[in-house]
A and B are shown apart, each in its own frame.
Chain A
Amino acid sequence: MHPAPSVIAFTTLSGIGFGLLAWLGLGLPPVTGGTAFAFFTIAYLLAAGGLVASTFHLGHPERALLAFTQWRTSWLSREAWASVAALLVMAVCGAGAVFFDTRIPALGWIGSALCMLTVWATSMIYAQLATVPRWNTPLTPVLFLSLAAAGGALLAGQPDFALVLLPLSGVVQVVWWVRGDRALADSRTDMASATGLGGTGRVRAFEPPHTSPNYLMREMVFRIGRKHALKLRALALLLGYVLPCLLLLIPFSHVFAALAVGSHLGGVAASRWLFFAEAEHVVGLYYGKS
């Protein structure tokens, strides 16, 4: 799949943004006043900024409101509802903490739940697609949720939680990769089933339909950079999980904390890039590629 920068930015930033909001909703840290203002501003910039970035890849962003209509069947529509609900509820919590020095625990918990629901809906947009076997697994929501929780804990200044959640999400990440490498082969979809010609013999793509690439190939038969996949995986693990943990283990300083957050964001972005670039869409089989 084509790794569109806007979608990578969206899933990375909004994931960690909603993660941070979820921790703030739980009252961890129990901030009020100016500190709360700073925390909530960062969280909203990340979460809402990510949502805005995601509209950049739309052909008709001016019709985006229509995306709220099909929540009965569409995960994208459910994500739209969940994100708006989460942002609204957490805005009330934030206003309470910043301006009135009060926290409403019940509302905060609802807000946290909605934040995690948003991340879950985002992950289901990918996990539901049988056409991309690498994504089509319950492990995808687990990966997104654990990353949001870990990144949120890091950003919320919760080293105790972060030191548990970061290694945990690292393990999920590795398991997700290992499963993903077998996913297409395990999906039973191959050139034989795509063309129905397998009974006659071995099928080879002889001629593509056109002499130059088309939308389908650009969007779904993206294969650039796969040969660097292993290096990128190592980089993602190092930056996203290992380095932040090490930085948390040494005595606290704001510089190291900022470094940990930056490193984590870089690692998650690399992992998201791979999430798309390595994902094989079955339509590639019609083009003799995967």
Chain B
Amino acid sequence: MTTLPETTDRKLGLVIDLDTCVGCHACVVACKGWNTEAYGAPLSDQDPYGAEPSGTFLNRVHSYEVQPEDGAAQLVHFPKSCLHCEDAPCVTVCPTGASYKRAEDGIVLVDESACIGCGLCAWACPYGAREMDAAEGVMKKCTLCVDRIYNENLPEQDRVPACVRTCPAGARHFGDLGDPESDVSRLVAARGGMDLMPEQGTRPVNKYLPPRPRDKLDQMEQSAPRLDPVIEEPGGFLGWLDRALEKL
């Protein structure tokens, strides 16, 4: 059913910390690894070992250079996947009802058995979060690892999306963004979490934490002038050790 729910009981989603992400692409690999053998059709690759490899991914990491007015440029790694929007335009355009948003937790999913592969939902998504699988002819997108987060066959610490579980930098957080008391909501409040393309009116659930302001090199010189060494020669036990070793 492509009519969007008025409200959802919970708003499960991700909080991605652009300050912490090191751009290692581990989440991309973990996502592809889990989702190619879990929900729905596999994530196919075309010409994987050839000159023009291409494939379906539900999560991709971009890298941007940000040049402030003064000071050094910053490199920001930018993971991007479905933001599970509250006003998801990808859902309402779907002619078959294959795309839907769940009323219980807000996850946006595709029922692949009903998808005709028209691609209109991918056109409607501003974020490039939907990709048509070239082998299967159906639309693939992030499921928020719906088959992990409620999976009682997995140990408790694994019941989070594969990308969150794998991130070595701790740059990805999963939780209920509809509950103001949840860890993720408090993180968003504390760090000024933001929406991508707010003017598109999609009201994304996923939030991005902006990079913290960087120190400026010249300011550092002023605030902390280099200290002169207090003694040239080390004394005490270390001094003795140093001299003893010198003699050997």
Instruction: Provide the residues of chain A in CB contact with B229, threshold 8 Å.
Output: none
| A102-140 near B? 1/0 per residue, CB < 8 Å | 000000000000000000000001001111100000000
| A72-B2, A189-B200, A195-B78 as given contacts; A131 in contact with B96, CB under 8 Å | no
| A187-B199, A214-B54 as given contacts; A286 in contact with B127, CB under 8 Å | yes
A282's partner among B91, B97, B126, B194 (CB-CB below 8 A) is B126
| B59-90 near A? 1/0 per residue, CB < 8 Å | 01111111111000111101010000000010
B66's partner among A58, A61, A201, A282 (CB-CB below 8 A) is A201
Chain B count of residues within 8 A CB distance of the other chain? 68
Q: Name which of B111-119, B153-161, B236-244 contacts chain A.
A: B111-119
Contact of B134 with A by CB under 8 A: yes
Instruction: Provide the residues of chain B in CB contact with A203, threshold 8 Å.
Output: 64-66
Closest-CB distance, A153 to chain B (whole angstroms) = 31
| A58-83 near B? 1/0 per residue, CB < 8 Å | 11110110111110111111001000
From residue 130 to 168 of chain A, which have CB atoms closer than 8 A to chain B? Answer: 130-132
| B1-21 near A? 1/0 per residue, CB < 8 Å | 111000000000000001000
Contact of A251 with B by CB under 8 A: no
Assembly CA distance A200 to B78 (angstroms) = 15
Chain A count of residues within 8 A CB distance of the other chain? 59
Closest-CB distance, B205 to chain A (whole angstroms) = 15
From residue 186 to 210 of chain A, which have CB atoms closer than 8 A to chain B? Answer: 187-189, 193-197, 199-210
Residue on A with the closest CB to B114?
Answer: A66
Contact of A38 with B by CB under 8 A: no
Instruction: Provide the residues of chain B in CB contact with A287, threshold 8 Å.
Output: 62
> A200, B200: Cβ atoms under 8 Å?
no
> B96, A70: Cβ atoms under 8 Å?
yes
Contact of A253 with B by CB under 8 A: no
B56's partner among A69, A201, A206, A215 (CB-CB below 8 A) is A215
Closest-CB distance, B121 to chain A (whole angstroms) = 10
| A61-B116, A63-B115 as given contacts; A206 in contact with B134, CB under 8 Å | no
| B122-165 near A? 1/0 per residue, CB < 8 Å | 11111110011010111000000000000000000000000000
A194's partner among B68, B119, B197 (CB-CB below 8 A) is B197
> A70, B196: Cβ atoms under 8 Å?
no
Contact of B208 with A by CB under 8 A: yes
Residue on A with the closest CB to B63?
Answer: A207
Please report whether the interface of chain B is mostly helix, strand, loop or mixed according to DSSP. Answer: loop
> A64, B116: Cβ atoms under 8 Å?
yes
Contact of B198 with A by CB under 8 A: yes
Instruction: Provide the residues of chain B in CB contact with A205, threshold 8 Å.
Output: 62-65
Assembly CA distance A203 to B62 (angstroms) = 12
Instruction: Provide the residues of chain A in CB contact with B211, threshold 8 Å.
Output: 197, 200
| A206-B75, A281-B123 as given contacts; A59 in contact with B128, CB under 8 Å | no
> B67, A201: Cβ atoms under 8 Å?
yes
Residue on A with the closest CB to B96?
Answer: A66
Closest-CB distance, A67 to chain B (whole angstroms) = 4
Residue on B with the closest CB to A71?
Answer: B95
Contact of B181 with A by CB under 8 A: no
Instruction: Provide the residues of chain B in CB contact with A74, threshold 8 Å.
Output: 2, 92-95
Instruction: Provide the residues of chain B in CB contact with A196, threshold 8 Å.
Output: 194-196, 208, 210
Closest-CB distance, A66 to chain B (whole angstroms) = 4
Instruction: Provide the residues of chain B in CB contact with A58, threshold 8 Å.
Output: 116-118, 137
> A202, B67: Cβ atoms under 8 Å?
yes
> B56, A125: Cβ atoms under 8 Å?
no
Instruction: Provide the residues of chain A in CB contact with B2, threshold 8 Å.
Output: 70, 72-74
Assembly CA distance A200 to B115 (angstroms) = 41
Instruction: Provide the residues of chain A in CB contact with B127, threshold 8 Å.
Output: 283, 286
Instruction: Provide the residues of chain A in CB contact with B18, threshold 8 Å.
Output: 197
Instruction: Provide the residues of chain A in CB contact with B117, threshold 8 Å.
Output: 58-60
The 8 A-B pairs at the shortest CB distance, nearest first, are namely A59-B117, A59-B137, A209-B60, A201-B68, A283-B128, A66-B96, A76-B95, A207-B63
A-B contact pairs, 20 of them (CB 8 A): A58-B117, A59-B117, A59-B118, A59-B136, A60-B138, A67-B95, A70-B95, A73-B2, A74-B95, A131-B123, A189-B200, A196-B208, A200-B211, A201-B69, A202-B66, A205-B62, A205-B65, A206-B64, A215-B131, A282-B200
